[in-house]
Amino acid sequence: MPANATTNAAATTGSAEQDRPLRVAVIVASVREGRLGPRVTEWFLETAASQAGMEYDVIDLAEVELPLVMPGWGAEPSAATAAVLAELTPRLADADAFVVVTPEYNHSFPAALKNLVDWFRAEWQAKPVGFVSYGGLGGGLRAVEQLRLVFAELHAVTMRDSVSLHAHWSGLTAEGVPADTAVSEGAVKGMLGQLDWWGRVLRSARVATPYAG
């Protein structure tokens, strides 16, 4: 094939890849009884519907039965765990980007979320991560700051701007819906704008040159 034909074919493939909707895995981090996580996630998805070019896959950790005890190095997981991984791994691997919906527990994030993160590695690499945090006077921002360190270790890129929903006395209702809709919806738009840019840039880069981290 002539060199110019090869270049044109690559450009066509790159263009098609760039135009494809961005696949975003939305992770619901809280698993405790009476949690607001699912409602906050519903609100986020309703608000995010106005952002064109994105497809969402919700992964609710309350429905993911990953054990806390991991197999030793080189050992195979149990049959039950292997079944969970077989269902979950392709969803994370196929995601172009992630949005983590998390509360703040004791200045940090839920253990179930850390467990999910630790079961995987390559699935996070060279992908962007956005955050929707909620609860307390700080709106979950301390959980987000710690998650930035965790995802940096996994070679992921976290979005500079996040969505922070404070407790009911300062913006988040008891039903998990923000009272300050103009501010919170603006925050979603800003975060998704960054996620879209990074998601498409990094997806194109991974296609051109597989990440070797």
Report the CATH number that the domain containing residue 102 is assigned in CATH. 3.40.50.360
CB 139 within 8 A of CB 101: no
Residue 131 sits at φ, ψ, to 5 deg, of -130, 140
108: containing domain: 22-208
Strands 97-103 and 157-158: unpaired
In this structure, is residue 40 part of a structural domain?
yes
pTM for this structure? 0.89
Q: What is the rounded distance in angstroms from the CA atom of residue 153 to the CA atom of residue 162?
A: 19
pLDDT digits (tens, 9 = 90+) for 80-110: 999 999 999 999 999 999 999 999 999 999 9
The tens place of each residue's pLDDT in the chain, 213 residues long, gives: 565 654 454 445 556 667 899 999 999 999 999 999 999 999 999 999 989 999 999 999 999 999 999 999 889 999 999 999 999 999 999 999 999 999 999 999 999 999 999 999 999 999 999 999 998 888 899 999 999 999 999 999 999 999 999 875 556 777 777 877 888 999 999 999 999 999 999 999 999 999 987
Judged by phi (left if over 0) then psi (alpha if -120 to 50, else beta), residue 181 lies in alpha
In this structure, is residue 27 part of a structural domain?
yes
In this structure, is residue 3 part of a structural domain?
no
How many distinct structural domains can be found in the chain?
A: 1
In this structure, is residue 58 part of a structural domain?
yes
Across 168-202, b (16+ Cβ under 10 Å) vs e yields eeebbeeebbbeeeeebbebbebbbebbbebbbeb
Residue type, 158: T
Mean of all residue pLDDT scores within the chain:
90
In this structure, is residue 7 part of a structural domain?
no
In this structure, is residue 2 part of a structural domain?
no
